């Protein structure tokens, strides 16, 4: 992806997050724009504590409760995705470009998109159930983390 395409994607994500806030009647403050920019520019997941620490640098008066409440509400609006990883709940901006899923490294939390969608192959779903959304994430260890010292290894076969 070129620098121009990346910059356009970041701005598009900021616009989507700010637009969701606006559509719910939120005042669009510099603090909320900064929150949107943090997620738009981040490739991985952020913990509420990570977000709080980032926001506190520019806005020393911000409270953890306010940050957490905004993360939860943005997740409910569908502009942030959330996942429980090893050390708790994490958030990231929803992918906008097209439908895809992710491989997520349990050590470094790098996310790697992949295009295959397993929903088309799931047998036995009720015909009268209307699916409106789904997520498919594969958790494991990326090539860098699986090769590093102290990396998890497979259990020996018995």
Question: Is it the case that residue 99 has pLDDT exceeding 90?
Answer: no
Question: Which class for 75: exposed (0-12), middle (13-18), buried (19 or more C-beta within 10 A)?
Answer: middle
Phi, psi of 20 (to 5 degrees): -65, -40
**What mean pLDDT, rounded, does the chain reach?**
83
According to CATH, the topology of domain 101-146 is Dna Ligase; domain 1 (3.30.1490)
Instruction: Please write the tens of the pLDDT for every residue from 42-66.
Output: 877 889 999 999 999 999 999 999 9
108 assigned binding-site residue: yes
> Within 13 A of 110's CA, how many CA atoms are on the CB side?
9
Integer Cα distance of 124 and 83 in angstroms: 26
134 assigned binding-site residue: yes
Question: Hey, where are the domains in the chain?
Answer: 3-93, 101-146
Q: What is the band of 151 on the pLDDT scale with cuts at 50, 70, 90? A: low
Whose structure tokens read 């953890």? 64
Question: Is it the case that residue 41 has pLDDT exceeding 70?
Answer: yes
Asked if 20 and 79 count as a contact pair (C-beta separation under 8 A), the reply is: yes
Instruction: Please write the tens of the pLDDT for every residue from 113-132.
Output: 777 788 878 888 888 988 87
Task: Provide the percentage of residues in the chain whose pLDDT is more than 70.
Answer: 87
142 assigned binding-site residue: yes
Number of Cβ atoms within 10 Å of the Cβ of 37: 16
Integer Cα distance of 44 and 5 in angstroms: 18
Task: Provide the percentage of residues in the chain whose pLDDT is more than 90.
Answer: 32
117 assigned binding-site residue: no
Q: What is the band of 157 on the pLDDT scale with cuts at 50, 70, 90? A: very low
Residue 81, sorted as left (phi over 0), alpha (psi -120 to 50) or beta, turns out to be: beta
Q: What is the band of 156 on the pLDDT scale with cuts at 50, 70, 90? A: very low
Integer Cα distance of 102 and 140 in angstroms: 11
Mean pLDDT confidence for 96-123:
78
pLDDT at res. 54: 94
According to CATH, the topology of domain 3-93 is Arc Repressor Mutant, subunit A (1.10.10)
Q: What is the band of 96 on the pLDDT scale with cuts at 50, 70, 90? A: low
């Amino acid at each position: 992806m070129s620098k121009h395409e990346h910059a356009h994607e970041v701005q598009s994500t900021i616009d989507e997050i700010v637009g969701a806030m606006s559509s719910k009647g939120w005042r669009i403050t510099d603090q909320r724009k900064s929150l949107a920019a943090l997620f738009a520019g981040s490739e991985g997941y952020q913990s509420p504590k990570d977000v709080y620490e980032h926001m506190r640098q520019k806005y020393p008066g911000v409270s953890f409760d306010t940050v957490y409440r905004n993360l939860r509400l943005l997740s409910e609006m569908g502009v942030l995705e959330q996942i429980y990883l090893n050390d708790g709940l994490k958030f990231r901006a929803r992918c906008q470009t097209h439908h895809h899923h992710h491989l997520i490294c349990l050590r470094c939390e790098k996310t790697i998109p992949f295009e295959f969608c397993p929903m088309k192959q799931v047998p036995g779903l009720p015909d009268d159930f209307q699916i409106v959304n789904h997520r498919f994430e594969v958790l494991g260890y990326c090539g860098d983390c699986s090769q590093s010292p102290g990396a998890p290894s497979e259990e020996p076969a018995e």
